[in-house]
Amino acid sequence: MSDLAWLTLAPILTPLGFGLGLLWPSPRPVRVGLALAGAALTLAFSLGLLVATADGTVLTSALGGWRAPFGIVMTADRLAAWVSVLAAVSALLAVWQAAADPDPARERHHLLALMQFLFAGVQMSFLTGDLFNLFVAFEVMLVASYALAVLGSTREQLREGFRYIVMNLAASALLVVACGLAYGVLGTLNFAHLAQRSAQLGPNTTVTAVGVLLLIVFAAKGALFPLGFWLPGTYPALPPAVGTFFAAVLTKVGVYALLRVFTTVFTGEAGVTNTLLLLFGTVTMLYGALGAASQREWRRILSFLVVSSVGYLAFGLGVGTGEAVRASVGYFAVSVLVTTALFAVAAVAERASGSRLVRVRGMLDFLPLLAGCFLLCALTVAGLPPSGGFVAKYALVRAGLAQGSLLAVLGVVSALLSSLITLYAMLKVWRGFFWGQHPAWLPVYRVSPSLHVAAYTASALVAGLTVFAGPIFARADATAAELRDNARYIRGVLGDAPVVIPAPPTGEEAEK
């Protein structure tokens, strides 16, 4: 075990510890300071993981000293470290937003503590090396998210929160069934051991059925069409800071699970699952873009764009080639950062105009820098050059055309059409909110400069996607290569020696 194996636990235990600390009654400046410190420290540990895995090292921490596959292990490879950093960045900006935009009623009911528990669950989902432990991580994450979804008890929150909770409970129940079937067929739930055993078993209908069941579960978590009907109504009902993190990261947990399971674990019979992913991705891209173009409220428009971005990721996974997986890993970063930035921009815009609608007009005169940030994010989310979104979408389209199947080509057409519709939706926001003459009778409210900082910082990171596109895609290339050859991951978790299942205890041993 590496000396740095403890790093796999640090991004989970840090927010968990700070969350418990935040339950203790204390003045607001102390609580805000603790929440920011917890998020910043989590980011520091995630960056440590990124550096430690840069050379292809797979870090594994066996809880209680029980080595894989018999015990619970936390594992970090290039992919896990990558998504851990992205989630930590979004978490820090969301906490900053919450700190800059006081909400006494929700904070009295532990808003900041619940956000830390949510971060812990998300990090655990990314760093677990076990299918059942992934279910546990989902539940940790979802219990916190359920509380955050209904905290405030507005009518809209309760209505949308109920739908969100029922959908996720149903998906969790299916995940338990899938875990049971996987264990029944393969005798293990450890990702590396599942990969080894499924390869030994060869083509098997039951394993394919388990894979399809897992795909449906993760598609529901990731909000792929038609299982993502709950998302566009839920996210706009949340407080802005919470909505930022939900939109940027929670659907990506489902996408990460798809990436992990269908590139590392079940790789033998990819035909059925890849076809389903292509189909889901193709429809989801278009559904999300059309939904965005049909809405008139800031966060409803952006929520549909979240759905569309998940479609692009599913499309890349469904294409399944090395280039497509590389493009998906790169687009993952684009999607998380641009969604964080757009929701942070929307939070400022809603505060300044006092309205959730985009048809206010003339705000360019009052918020010129925010308008610049929005324009940058709009170019990125629509995939226009020279933004990072263009680089990622171009790579996805090229991979789809190179694969050449009818469904892949249809996916490419859907991707291009969705980008055009997304551009139209973004221009509609620009024209409705920033452009034109502001009506004299409409007030413009002062917004805390701290809230602007979150939007500017997130937008600067989006600009960084263009400036550092080379290193980012080089990392994505290495990650995709590692995912397509899972031998290093299996060896990193299970070691070089063959796994020997201990003999059952004898009668005398069992009595002891």
DSSP 249: I
C-beta separation of 68 from 33 below 8 A: no
The β-bridge partners of 128 are 74
Backbone torsion region of residue 404, taken as left when φ is above 0, otherwise alpha when ψ lies between -120 and 50, otherwise beta: left
Percent of the chain with pLDDT over 90: 63
CA distance 441 to 189: 63
What was the pLDDT predicted at 386? 85
CA distance 208 to 215: 10
Report whether pLDDT(510) > 60: no
Place of tokens 């990314």: 126
The tens digit of pLDDT for each residue in 277-324 reads 999 999 999 999 999 999 999 999 999 999 999 999 999 999 988 899
pLDDT tier at 128 (50, 70, 90 boundaries)? very high
What the block records as the tokens of 209 is 């059925």
CA distance 239 to 246: 10
Mean pLDDT over each residue of the chain, to the nearest integer: 90
CB proximity list for 179: less than 8 A, separation 6 or greater: 131, 132, 135, 189
CA distance 155 to 167: 19
Query: 180-184, 283-287, 420-424, 503-507: which has the minimum mean pLDDT?
Result: 503-507
What's the whole-number mean pLDDT along residues 429-447? 91
What was the pLDDT predicted at 505? 56
Report whether pLDDT(35) > 80: yes
pLDDT tier at 118 (50, 70, 90 boundaries)? very high
C-beta separation of 409 from 329 below 8 A: no
The tens digit of pLDDT for each residue in 14-30 reads 999 999 999 998 999 99
What was the pLDDT predicted at 189? 92
The tens digit of pLDDT for each residue in 360-381 reads 889 999 999 999 999 999 999 9
Residue whose C-alpha is closest to residue 427's, from 500, 487, 377:
377
CA distance 480 to 387: 22
What the block records as the tokens of 291 is 């939904």
What was the pLDDT predicted at 466? 87
| CB-neighbour burial class of residue 368 (10 A; exposed 0-12, middle 13-18, buried 19+) | exposed
